[in-house]
Structure 1
Amino acid sequence: MFKNKEEFKQIFQNNVVSKLGKPLDEVSNEDVYTILSRMLREFAGREWAATNRELRQDQEKQVYYLSLEFLIGRLLGNNLLNMGMLKTVKEGLEDLGISLGEIEEEEADAGLGNGGLGRLAACFLDSLASLGYAGHGCGIRYQYGLFEQKIVDGNQVELPDDWLQKGFEWEVRRADRKVEVRFGGQVETREEDGELYFSTRDYEAVWAVPYDVPVIGYKGSNPDYHINTLRLWSAEPVREMANRNMASGGNYYNYLNYNRSVESISEFLYPDDSHYEGRLLRLKQQYFLCSAGLQSILRTYDKLNLSYDHLPDQIAIHINDTHPTLVIPELMRILMDEKGYGWDAAWDITCRTVSYTNHTILSEALERWPAQMIRELMPRVYMIIDEINTRFCKMLMDKYPDDPDRVAHMAIVYDDQVKMAHLAIAGSHSINGVAALHTDILKEREMRNFYELYPQRFNNKTNGITHRRWLMHANPELCDLISDSIGSRWITHPQELVGILKYSEDAAFQEKAAAIKQHNKQHLASYIEQKYGTVVNTESIFDVQVKRLHAYKRQFLNILHVMYLYNQLKSMPSHDMVPRTFIFGAKAAPGYYLAKSTIKLINTVANVVNNDPDVKDKLNVFFLENYSVSLAEKIIPAADVSEQISTASKEASGTGNMKLMMNGALTIGTMDGANVEMYEMLGDANMFMFGLTADQVMNYYQHGGYNARDIYNSDPRIKEVVDQLVTPGAFAQNSYEFDSLYRSLLDGNDEYFMLKDFDSYAESHVQIEAAYRNQKDWLKRSIHNIAHSGKFSSDRTIGQYASEIWKIHPVNK
């Protein structure tokens, strides 16, 4: 694209004049972002086309990763990094008086995901492209993201996340590749020569129009980029259908209702499912994704002119959690109704093509859909699901003739509910968990019956994160320090980060690492001061908990402990405490009352603490609104302490723990999710572990024996902070403001064992403070965390998926 900084400046200035008709001194930051991103996309387009051409010519097996979420964040900086142009462009813009950092702020975070599920999918796409695999994403192009979070009087307020308001420079609309998705109608059956044939009439059709986003792999020393595709589907009306309805007696308002119904499919990420219409829309989204994605995949396969007997040899379809599970009956429908396959052959092809990742054991997250809803929305698909269930249950009855309870428990359709996880397991050749502990819980407890039936299908693939975004782009000074010390080979072989262990006690290396951390803390403090008008003590411990707000993640435990620290300081003003700054970032689901009450509590405590002259030099609390990928890139490099404190057994893996570890934060955590595997490498010397184990938690759930009131009555620290929730005074303005939180602990018997773990949690914080006082030792521990984080690169995870599940290999360009 350009060989050096001077050539970049010339090309850039020419584009400004030719595209905008403005001199350089009149362009805005938005103008610069638009010109720069279009330059990169146009240049990448040639390599994108070359990648697709070579995949077709070489007939490489391709994997398609279906997910309702892709939390890709901003792309300008990440694409510059992967294209090897970041330094050249940054310096060239500086010569022109332009800050690349300010330009990156002009890009909206893509509203395509919510939390860890979507961010994992984004990391996987980055690794697939960077490692040279033929692997593509398939999702929905939501017009609005989850919501834009504002904090008003301490409360979360949800505003529309209109992320497409200024367009999305990285996408390409492919109207010529649209496909038709059909809902409703009546299934007609006819028999010819002893064979049954099925067709559907009176259906409602919508267009699924693809918008393609290039996924640019890291170039490194390669002569070319490998560029895969994230295909996002947008729902649009079928005008011919609307016109036919009008011609057959429909009216203008029916036409408008049809248009509105269609547009709603791709309008919102996670529509409100607290009522029937919202649940129906969410199910509609899932089928829309599966049907459109599958039609597109098979259209590509058809160009190979191969029998569908070979589909599993050329195509791997992976479903990210249960949301895309309908791809299983949809593939069966196409194979039988359109390709002429019988049931047994179609089922064999389907099972060998599809694989499934389970992301949760939380009962509320294991999807179940009313059978009648599926029957009405996609009648032919429901017939296939029902037949899958019938055959599956017959097989179970033959295998376990004396165990009807097992058959009922494992059924795909039972009590007028379709269990999507059961369907995903039955119709996939691989089922994986996302951390060793999570997979063991699946096999030994939650999915034990299925594991006994299909032991060869179950496997573990511990999650990972792309070090390109979360270390190289988010923390470039640390990246440079590592490369200056051990060379740059770690960038393409991240497990070689372990090489910096030899510098863990090196005074010069420690000094440089400390200076980088301090610079990152000052950068975050400047952001907080600019946005909230509050000065942050950058000499304090930055203690960070940033993740989705959910009771099992226990932000509530964290803020109860902050209340306890405040009480300590108020009762002992001379208490010698290392200054602490607690930083929270999280969104709560709009209908999740307890989670929103926790946000209110955090902000209430922050308001009290930050305005109390007795403690403000020692204790501060900040809730940073509208947590996002771009905000995480500011917070994570600045963190000293990483809060990973979920109730043991509840967090499938976690990936925030990995990002913070990679940037040198020390973890305080439970033996949950991937924390366990981090601990196996780091040990007590480099992590602060506390609380119940997964076995102890599940034993309490199974056998009882836990009484939260006993702990409340026996521990004065706990009693004081819990009572403060409902006693007007230090925090609560009245007795009912936080009554729901109070009752969840005592009347609800503390479902997530926050009071049980409080003592060991508080003791771990005492250990953190003591460790931080010895900065040389703290830096040694921090370097150990960075060194061992290479195992948690998504490059390692994707390599395992590729070789063990998808059976694909890197494409040689």
Structure 2
Amino acid sequence: MTTIDPSTVATLQIEDDRTGLGIETLRRAMADNLFYIQGKYPEIATKNDFYMALAYTVRDRLLKRWISTTRSYVKNDVKVVCYLSAEFLMGPQLGNNLINLDIYEQVHKAVTESGLNIEELIEQEEEPGLGNGGLGRLAACYMDSLASLEIPAIGYGIRYEFGIFDQEIRDGWQVEITDKWLQWGNPWEIHRPELAYEVKLGGHTEPYTDQYGNYRVRWIPDQVVKGIAYDTPILGYKVNTTNILRLWKAEAPESFDFQSFNVGDYYGAVNKKVVSENISKVLYPNDEQVQGKQLRLEQQYFFVSCSLQNMIRIHLDRPGKSLATFHENFAVQLNDTHPAIGVAELMRLLLDEHQFAWEQAWDITQKTFGYTNHTLLPEALEKWSINLFGKLLPRHLEIIYEINRRFLDQVRLQDPYDQGKIARLSLIDETGDRYVRMANLACVGSHAINGVAALHTELLKQTVLRDFYQLWPEKFSNKTNGVTPRRWIVLSNPGLTSLISSKIGDNWIKHLEDLRQLESFVEDSNFRQQWRQIKLENKRNLAKYIQKKTGIVINPESLFDIQVKRIHEYKRQHLNVLHIITLYNRIKHNPDLEITPRTFIFGGKAAPGYYMAKLIIKLINSVAEVVNADPCVRDRMKVVFLPDYNVTLGQRVYPAADLSEQISTAGLEASGTGNMKFSMNGALTIGTLDGANVEIRQEVGEENFFLFGLRTEEVYALKTQGYNPWSYYNSNPQLKEVIDLIASGIFSHGDTGLFRPLLDSLLHHDPFMLLADYQSYIDCQEQVSQAYRNQDNWTRMSILNVARIGKFSSDRSIQEYCQDIWQAKSLTIELEEYVQSKAGLKV
């Protein structure tokens, strides 16, 4: 056994104390924060008080790194990646920061020695619900990777006072509850009232001639809103780099109007404050088609304007800098079309506020922006009515008209006779009600356009952005999404992390491709047994959680078949339900039927105004009620809907999954990231050739992936020929029995009309082709059942899924963005020592 010299132990303890990471130092810091920040002593402190004290203790360890990072960026005149996203679904910060600081064990001991339970304190954290799903979660993964790769970066978004709603299930229906994530405070953010910018809205414009005789425009707004910054430190894994997530809160320039108050207008005295603060009040679900249109446009413009003004301020604060070199110091990425108004806003700032000529301003703007597209659905490409846009942003509409005029003049020079192409490329949709097309604006105003999976990018070139690709093929590239292994393996699955590191070391956490080394252990029976045991323990933990939350008792040794994601018809949760009912019918016909025991687990939120998605949730819960209570089933099947699915719950779910359901209609899912998280944790995938499924299957091996369904080209061909779902229903007795059983009212207490809208859609329209893929899906699920019975081989497949998933690290994605789009370079941050003297603070 290796012995350590006591003097070495003493030296390490001194070093830990000097850096603030010693156990006693951490205990003292927690006690101080409880006393001085929470104003509590242990005997009266709540669990939340203790959590806050610990969170502030950890944040204090981040701040030294944060300040050193900021100083280094200024000193070295770095190029900064600015990630503009309307959503950042960061998840809880405490556990993640303990992992990235590499102090989980020290803090665990310090907390335990203080008589507390670290797991309980970590679970106490309220999750910021600042995103709807994949888009916001991707932004969070990219922030983690940017910091871990030591890339200078700022994430810009909105500090929604109320995030995505909390979901309750009542009588099987989704009920939306206000997400009061800030009610107990947020220890991770720092309020920056000195970082405040005015944002104009409404009004009119006035032309004038400047002192040099140049035509200029002045914007006279109806309303001015103030944006205030709130900063959250984003630490990289085992590095000192600590980047910024800067979220904007809307306030009125003056909170109280004394003139209105003095004349008796008490409502008017505070009305401006109320109206202004509405802008950052709530996150809108992204499937809302009509409600809140104006507010969403206000939100998008608000955070983009604040962010660009902040970048300009940072740039001009650097010695000797002018805005002519703005694009050399800032690479701005548009995360989907939500921030696309940034193209017109940067032009406005350069033209109107800083007096640039059009040509130079446009050159800077195009070199600054990159655009990531996240959808293949034409109806999901944002557009705003001319009337609404012009009323709210009159100056921007003028700028967009001028961008469009110059752009279409160039197009006509190349192809003057193709009026159809000119109409499709135009930034203004002239058909019917006139609209501003935000995706077109993003394409024209950016120097780079990318999709988020290989298939998605190719389909973009062939469909929704085809004309832009033909015009500028050099702008297009693919950047397949990735997820961070720090949160989605190390934090979520410590048992698996420990096993992997015991075999190949821990370098894989930052170099996920190193997981390939696990292939050499696939035939090691002891390793396979350990792997199975870790999975079983994760399933037991999830089973306990499910029983606590829903009262449903499930068998941890059954196949955990899981589909967790936003509820949407194209994601086809109802296809999964058709399979459940198919199995249920088989059992009812033959009560002694031997089937592989399964637990079907669903989770996800439906947009409040999306009736069909909410009806799917009701169907899942109604089927669960019948199946789980039927004595004929005898624990061979259980169906569970997990309410309020979020990042925190995902950290429980992904490690426990045996089977990952990625069953969207081929050609509709841009990428997906849940598919990556499942596979990273050893789940096998059943899926269509859609989004990143294509690349996952290529990487893990066709034999380790359960493929079913129509290919993209077959979907298009069938729709062109004239798809008739009724013929599938009539020609497949098994499918007909399932549909008829739903229609009979057996799952709706005899109400034959409850699920009629869903059935009518499937039988008469079926836009997402469930009935066409039904039999292929059922047959593939039978292959899954057979495969699961051979646990030894299933474990081999599980290991290979993890070993070959290295491509799907967000680190790889960010490296590709840096190399191909941003031209951003890493900078190693050295910690600086700060000492206090009588003369004040000195470095």
TM-score normalised by L of structure 1: 0.97
Question: How far 1:243 sits from its partner (Å)?
Answer: 5.3
Alpha-carbon separation, structure 2, partners of 1:752 and 1:245: 56
Asked if the contact 1:145–1:268 (Cα under 8 Å) also holds between the matched residues in 2, the reply is yes
Cα-to-partner distance string for 1:479-498 (whole Å, 9 max, x where unaligned): 01000001111112111111
Partner of 2:322: 307
Selected match of 2:427 from 408, 412, 420? 412
Asked if 2 retains the 8 angstrom alpha-carbon contact of 1:554 and 1:754, the reply is yes
Report deviation, 1:12.
Answer: 3.0
**In the alignment, structure 1 residue 196 sits paired with structure 2 residue 196:** no
Aligned residues of 1:436 and 1:460 also touching (Cα < 8 A)? yes
Aligned equivalents of 1:711 and 1:804: distance in 2? 46
8 A contact 2:552–2:640 mirrored in 1: no
What residue in structure 1 maps to residue 795 of structure 2? 779
Deviation of 1:186 after TM superposition, in Å, equals 1.5
Give the % identical residues: 45
Deviation at 1:156, TM superposition (A): 0.4
* Aligned match of 2:152: 134
Select between 307-316 and 350-359 the one with higher mean Cα deviation.
307-316
Query: Which residue does 1:380 correspond to in 2?
Result: 395
Quote the residue 2:751 is aligned against: 734
Question: Which AA in structure 1 matches 2:125?
Answer: E
CA distance in 1, matches of 2:30, 2:323: 48
Structure 1 distance, partners of 2:39, 2:298, is 45
Distance 1:46 1:619 in 2: 53
Alignment deviations for residues 730-789 of structure 1 (CA, whole Å, 9 cap, x no partner): 5563111000110011122x1111111111111111111111111110000000001111
Aligned twin of 1:664: 682
8 Å CA contact retained: 2:725, 2:762: yes
* Aligned twin of 1:206: 225
Pair 1:182-2:197 in alignment: no
Cα distance in 2 for residues equivalent to 1:277 and 1:12: 46
Given the alignment, which residue of 57, 64, 69 partners 1:51? 69
- The aligned residue for residue 238 of structure 1 is 253
Q: Deviations over 1:432-476 (max 9, x none)?
A: 000000000011222111101010000000000000000000001
Q: What's the Cα RMSD here? A: 1.7
Alignment-mate amino acid for residue 284 of structure 1: E
Decide whether aligned partners of structure 1 residues 494 and 375 sit closer, same or farther in structure 2, where only a CA change above 3 A counts.
Answer: same
In the TM superposition, residue 258 of structure 1 has moved relative to its aligned partner by 2.3
Contact residue 271 and residue 281 of structure 1 kept, 8 A: no
**Conserved in 2, the CA contact under 8 Å of 1:68 and 1:286?**
yes
Which deviations, in whole Å up to 9, do the C-alpha atoms of 1:518-537 show, x marking residues without a partner? 11001001101111122110
Aligned partner of 2:541 in structure 1 is: 523
Distance 1:133 1:422 in 2: 29
Corresponding position: 1:756 with 2:772: yes
Mapped to 2, the partners of 1:320 and 1:18 lie a distance apart of 40
The answer on 1:446 being equivalent to 2:464 is yes
Alignment CA distance shift 1:208-1:526 (3 Å): same
* 1:202, distance to aligned residue in structure 2 (A): 4.5
Change in 2 beyond 3 A, CA 1:670/1:732: farther
Q: Could you say which residue in structure 1 is the equivalent of 2:6?
A: none
SS at match of 1:208: strand
In the TM superposition, residue 577 of structure 1 has moved relative to its aligned partner by: 0.7
Separation (CA, whole Å) in 1 of partners of 2:274 and 2:289: 18
Amino acid at match of 1:209: I
Query: 2:272 — aligned with what?
Result: 258
Q: Aligned match of 1:370 in 371, 385, 388? A: 385
Corresponding position of 2:294: 280
**Superposition pairs of residues 156-555 of structure 1, within 5 angstroms:** 156-192=174-210, 193-219=212-238, 222=239, 225-239=240-254, 242=257, 251-270=265-284, 278-304=292-318, 305-415=320-430, 416-555=434-573
Q: Which moved more, 1:680-689 or 1:115-124?
A: 680-689
In the superposition, relative to structure 1, how do residues 310 and 17 fare at CA in structure 2: closer, same or farther (>3 Å)?
closer
Query: How many Å separate the matches in 2 of 1:492 and 1:314?
Result: 27
Unaligned 5+ runs, structure 2:
1-18, 830-843
Helix, strand or coil at the partner of 2:370: strand
Any conservation in 2 of the 1:504–1:784 contact (CA below 8 Å)?
A: yes
**Match of 1:253, SS?**
helix
How many residues get paired?
806
Deviations 1:562-606, CA, capped at 9 Å, x for gaps: 011111111111111111000000100001111000000000001
In structure 2, distance between residues paired with 1:254 and 1:293: 30
Deviates more, 1:97-106 or 1:536-545: 97-106
Aligned runs of 1:54-133 on 2, under 5 Å? Answer: 54-133=72-151
Which whole-Å CA distance do the structure 1 matches of 2:462 and 2:289 have between them?
A: 35
| Cα distance in 1 for residues equivalent to 2:317 and 2:620 | 56
Would the aligned equivalents of 1:286 and 1:326 in 2 still touch at CA under 8 Å?
A: yes
User: Bigger shift: 691-700 or 665-674?
Assistant: 691-700
Distance in structure 1 (CA, Å) of the matches to 2:290 and 2:767: 28
The 2-side partners of 1:251 and 1:596 are apart by 43
Q: Displacement, 1:414?
A: 2.2
- The Cα shift of 1:97 comes to 3.5
What is the distance in 1 between the residues matched to 2:259 and 2:406? 40
Check the 8 A contact 2:200/2:221 in 1, yes or no: no
Give, in whole Å, the separation in 2 of the partners of 1:200 and 1:459.
Answer: 37
Deviation at 1:10, TM superposition (A): 4.2
Counterpart CA distance in 2 for 1:615 and 1:173 is 56
For 1:323-380, what per-residue CA distance to the aligned partner results, in whole angstroms no more than 9, with x for missing partners? 0001000000111112221111111110000000000011221101001111111111
Task: Give structure 1 stretches of 5+ with no counterpart.
Answer: none
Q: Residue 11 of structure 2 corresponds to which residue in structure 1?
A: none
What secondary structure is seen at the aligned counterpart in 1 of 2:548?
Answer: helix
- Change in CA separation of 1:693 and 1:284 when aligned onto 2, cut-off 3 Å: same
Q: CA deviation at 1:274?
A: 6.1
Match of residue 819 from structure 2: 803
Change (3 A) 1:227 1:362: same
- In the alignment, which residue of structure 1 is the partner of 2:717? 699
